Structure 1
Amino acid sequence: MMPEMDGYAVCEKLKADPKTKDIPIIFVSALDAVLDKVKAFEMGGVDYVSKPIQEKELFARVETHLEIRRLQKHLQERNNKLVATLQQLKQAQSQLVESEKMAVLGQLVAGISHEINTPLGAIRSSVENLADFLGKDIKTQLNFWQTIDHKQQPYFLELLRYPALQALSSREKRKLKRKLRNTLDSANIEHSDRIADTLVDMGISEPELSSILPLFKQPDGLDILDKAYEFFTLRKSTETIQTATERAAKIIFALKSYARYDFGTEKTEGDLIKGIETVLTLYYNQIKKGVDVIKNYQELPPILCYPDELTQVWTNLIHNALQAMNYQGKLRIDVEKNNDMIDVRITDSGKGIPSDILPRIFEPFFTTKVAGEGSGLGLDIVKRILEKHEGKISVNSVSGETVFTVSIPMITKEKADNSQIKELQISQ
């Protein structure tokens, strides 16, 4: 013992110093009481030897504790390396996911550009119509109402009341035009062909024609119809702008949601169906060419997950399904609760996956595509992402139908919070 310090104080001081805290300390004492031994261990001692001392025993104990210390140090170094390796693997997975995403975006960019240019073109055309209308002499536009005979004003307002007929085919429009023209001819109204054309564009069907038929017997009936048509195109242009801007906004939002990638360490609340719809929006240009999408969504609560990573799952599975069908066929997406799980099934009507390669499709670098078309990492990444969610993926395939089933735990924030509270109560 040191002057003014006993063995316990020396041990406590050594353990408090970062430079010496890892040195194994063995107490050698004439005291043999249980309380003395307990106190020694509480101070940080690794062993306690009571006098009289057997020299060989002491050396053996010292050697044992030095070996234990060496093993502990080696284990700590291995753990540190494993932690670093795990972090590198996470970064590598993040880079792989990002690489896959950029590859998909590269394939989609032409279609997305077309999908954005289409509503922009509609907006541009509609704005030109508005500018043309407003560019005319406003006084002339206002005076027109005053020049209409008060008996004809109700007909003018009636013409403006009808919405455009929705999605009539060319054949249906021709059929409707013939009916309107026949009605006009039966009433001995001149210019029946021109009037019928305008009425079809304005969404006026045969039953509605009877209420405005007297207008066309008036000398200025055609002028009133033409002016009503101008106002109709004005309204139609504003509706087109609204629809087109909503469509463009939806595409841009989907692209932004997809391009943003947050490789977070903490789960956040996510909407599975919203993620699936984002991917379908990005693939709209490919889908509209010949794919019939059937959706069967059961209402779901937001769940704790890694939303951006799940979006990558849906992207990969939907992309593969579309390619398997060569963008012609049926794509069915089912989302439903299954006890404490959520099942997402993506079914395509493609040629199917051969049975001899089906067991290998989730292997890293295995691909059924020709050289240059795929890295073979897509489904491996999908599997890893789902394992991170404590979920799973399976596949069944026959000729004419392939079904990928994704199962994810349905853990809501409320359920997770309640689980943490119970764990705290048990620990207390």
Structure 2
Amino acid sequence: MSQNLSDTQSLLEKAIDRHPLLMAPDTSITAAIAAMSESDTSYILIVEKTQLLGIFTERDALKLIANKTNLAELALSQVMTTNLMTINLVETHNIYSVLASLESCKINYLPIINEQGQVIGAIAPDSLRPIVQEICDRAAAAEEFLRLNAELEHLVQKRTEQLIANNQELQQVLTNLQTAKQELINSEKMATLGKLIAGVAHEINTPLAAIRSSVQNISEFLKEKLEELPTFFRTLSPENQQYFFALLQKSTQETDTLSSKEKRQFKKALQRQLESEKIPEADSLASTLADIGVYHEIEQFLPLLKSLDSSQILETAYRLSTLQKSTRTIATATERAAKIVFALKTYGRYDNSAQKVLANIIDGIETVLTLYHYQIKQGVELVRNYAPNLPSILCYPDELHQVWTNLLHNALQAMDYRGTLTIEVKQQGQNLLVKIADTGKGISPEILPRIFEPFFTTKMPGEGSGLGLDIVNKIIDKHYGTIEVESQVGETTFTIFLPLNQNQE
């Protein structure tokens, strides 16, 4: 087991009994045994003028008693073990070499002396037992990490296989669309179909790029840091292990729904709190904690933040949390790519065999907002007005995801990714009401009646297929809901009503 010098020396220090029971060689055996009992110790070091002469142990006393020796007539000098093996603490720093010496020499007690030959302590079974347990615990932690790492590699491989499968299906869709375009070369829909192909090609690039980027992040991490992690975990004390895994747990719980402004506010609050605790480099630590997902309740981590190795522990926790986020991004982007195929299939044919399930509408909206996180944070203020304790509804969640995707995508494009995006979800009578409002340029009165027509679009070629709002309308109708739109210069609002009771089918 590899350890650095300071860590092995620290373990050795913990194993030393700094207050051994010392007695002169002329001390009677009866007095020595009484002193051992009173001090609750299993050994006595016999010294004369600070020089070590021998050792008398609990085992020696038991042998004398078993042999019915007259203890009153004996002194320690007559029964002590001499010619002891000792170690000089100045010359010895490695706990593992000490353990090896104890094992090879078949001894239980090892006196510690200084350069002058004076006794300064001893390693005994009682002081050594917790150190051996700590070493075993560290080995177990390292083994658990290797197991978790193997699971992570398996997950990466599985997600990569899903990417390849989805990419092949997407390529087949594009090939089929291209074939249809050639067959309809003389048709009025040729130009529109060309826009459809271009639009689909544009839309699939986003999840594919996200997957490629996430896989690259994971690959770079495994290449750069994998070999260092076992040593890092072995050098962690049990207390720091608890802090480390608590940080990763915080990262796992993070939903990443905070706006950039909210994150900056939390970071500043964290920095002020760290500065009040006199913790150096408070600004850098606050940034790392915020990136991990620790925005508040940092009191439990204050002992870690005040320790000398806090920077390495936080940096490693941050890198692993980024790894976790990359796997979630792969999962989300893979689902997104599959939904694009689903949307195209939905337009041509609906699968009525699918069963509705109970789902939380806000969860679906937040899933789509995660996909657009990068575009939103560049210059869009996101306002969420979610009523509390909203009921789940029977629905087709994947299809509703497509609704939120199309409406949010249109809203962001209408604002040119600069403005305010407001999302409101509440119960109104027997319906769930969802409002998505943007501060874009608005929809002209002449165009407004046509926006739900299939293939109708005002966007430039390659920017849209003209199917988005038509698909939205069909999905809402499939849920026995309605969709309304109001628009003027500087504000457009889409309002969706979804009935809570959908037993009409």
Q: TM-score, normalised by structure 2?
A: 0.43
Q: TM-score, normalised by structure 1?
A: 0.50
Structure of larger gyration radius: 1
